[in-house]
Structure 1
Amino acid sequence: MPGSGAGDEERMARAALTRVIEPGDEHGGRWLRELGAGELMARLTSPEHREPALTGASARRLAGYRIRATGVEPDRDLAAVAAVGGRFVCPGDREWPTQLDDLGDARPIGLWVRGRSDLRKWALRSVAVVGARACTPYGAHMAACLGAGLAERGWVVVSGAAFGIDGSAHRGALAAGGATVAVLACGVDVVYPRGHAELIGRIAEQGLVIGELAPGDHPTPSRFILRNRVIAALTRGTVVVEAEYRSGSLATARSAQKLGRFTMGVPGPATSGLSAGVHALLRGEGVLVTDAAEVAELVGDIGDLAPDRRGPVLPRDLLDPLSARVLEALPARGAVAGAQVARGAGTTADEALGRLYELHSLGFVERHGDSWQLTQSAIRGSNARRGGT
């Protein structure tokens, strides 16, 4: 069992409730907060006339809860997760990530966890990388680079184990020998998608596989959307790599924004529909990032800075200011007298002459009689500095 926190009765009742209350159900979350897990299960499994009514839900919806509560076997579910090397983590346990409490009544009842590592400690320094399932090669490359780069910097990469961006982010982290967490929309003993059986197995072995659904439960479209709130709440920030306007990845980003987490996006081609949702995010509160260093700078601690970005250092960039002015005073074509160079540089003829000889020794200029002109290499360097051809 996980460390001290929830008692056996509380744990058993919460495990049972994961089969009764759907993820993100705020009606159930309010009852759970007001009554406690044991009392809520008692009311759902007792004849209606013997217990005080549960308020806030229609009679039809309440009947659905009662039908689900009939015949649940939490001890069997706990044994099933233990059989795959897992456990059930509850609020109050040492391993419970308290940032999930920010979800209020929509927080998970508990989390089913596979893997040997401590979820709470891993979540303290984690970043979500999410995006399109049908991604482009560019998107897959960027997600893998982000996963590897973040892992190399000691960050835990969190995603949803789906095809496309999710899988690429997980693989990037694993390839770098780093830590990664897969948040599933089904039971942690269920392989979904089937094509990621090997990947999910590797994550369970080297990282963590977590979910709100009891062992054996299957995914549904609504469960995928609701799963995204857990990814957003668990991490310090969410990076979106390729997403259309209507995308579950954007739902993760919106959840992150509501929770006050960092929201980031990797830009793509302006003509790509797969990047349209990311670009809309970046026009709002999202922050543009292009690599792991920029992500770490945003979500990390003071001093966790990305390197300065600049073009290549050209030889003329190393000149002192006066020598640079003298060099700029020379025309791109043809030779001019030293006195003309001095006027253009705003200095004396003697000072200009001294700098011209220095520039000659460095290969920037050449002398023709009493005149000076740029070398061909200096002309090419000048074009490169100005962005010319």
Structure 2
Amino acid sequence: MLGTASTKKSGCRARRADRTSGTPHECFDGLMERGVRSGGQEQQWRLQNETEAVWATAVAFVLGAGAGILLLGGDPRPLAGPQSLAMPMAAVGGVVAASAFVVSTVRHHRGETAPMPRWQMLISNLSAVALTVVFAAVTAMGVLLATQVLATGLQGLRLGALGGGMLAGVASAVGGRFAYGAGIGLRTVDLAGILFGFLVIGTLFAMSTAADPRWWEHNFSTLGGGAGSWAFNGTLIVAGLIVATVGSYIGRDLHRLLGDGALARVTRVVVLWALTGAALAAIGLVPLERMKVAHNVIALGTLALFVIAAVTTARVFPGSPRALVVTTIGLTALVGVSVVLCFGFGIFGVTALEAIVIGLGMLWMLTLVRVLGILSPSQSRPSARAKLLR
């Protein structure tokens, strides 16, 4: 075997030398052939997944339309408002999307946790459960916002069981395809994008149904009061769940990058993001109009936890990626300037300041997870430790 390897190596070296005389480089050709073949297999795999997603979309439409027709029987209903199509459609779409994610995850990741120790398997399974809830909530909130917008543009429109069922089928198809694709392969950057999108969708819906149309004169927490408070408070609760799950995925990527030797530092990162998510959810569970002092304390605590989690995560990175450093310095400066303009000169109100800070924070998180996605391997990495902390 040693002789064979030596012969292949010397032959390859000889052919490499032949490049100067114009002779084809056979070793290079062989590598290129294998690369094309590997690329072809990757392409075939993606096409197969796309075909599966199309079938999943069709099944989701049929299930959503069937359930919608059954639930929306009786007199025609408006798109939004009391006794409307919105809530049943949102419920159907959410259930179908969650089911699509479960089916896709089981199909494409069955046995992936088998070589993992119990603690790592538990974290992975908890993340999957959390994501199932997330995709149900994202789809439902998207349906509610869409029906609210359509009701504004199509005033007076009322649909019966068949028309409402078809709309429920379309909503289920969109949510089902999105969730099924996520079950095939969900990256940390995708999850951070879902967080940002869900915050925007939920806040817009809360604005459109706010009991006080002049809520913006105070702050975003004012949306958590009145008859429609469930929309904003529910958005915060689900967003907290997403933040905690993003933290779990960040920990997964850091472990793939750094290995078991960094488990103690990675664990601190995951715990801090979990606490940040729990604090964000607590803001929704403790509305401003009921417990003002507790609400404000929790809100400030959430901001502090976010900063601590961000700094801790950045320090775990090997080296200091320039993209992350530049973004951190730039956003810190912008937040400082915004605070001065708000409280020092009164150029804009607290609501605008909150929107700026949240937007900049999400931009920083997106930069973080994109850099992490570039650095970390995509393959699963089972830990060799039987216990997380020892």
Q: TM-score range by the shorter chain?
A: under 0.3
Larger Rg: 1
More strand by share: 1
TM-score (ref. length: structure 2) = 0.25
TM-score (ref. length: structure 1) = 0.25
Structure having greater relative contact order (Cα 8 Å, sep ≥ 6): 2
More helix by share: 2
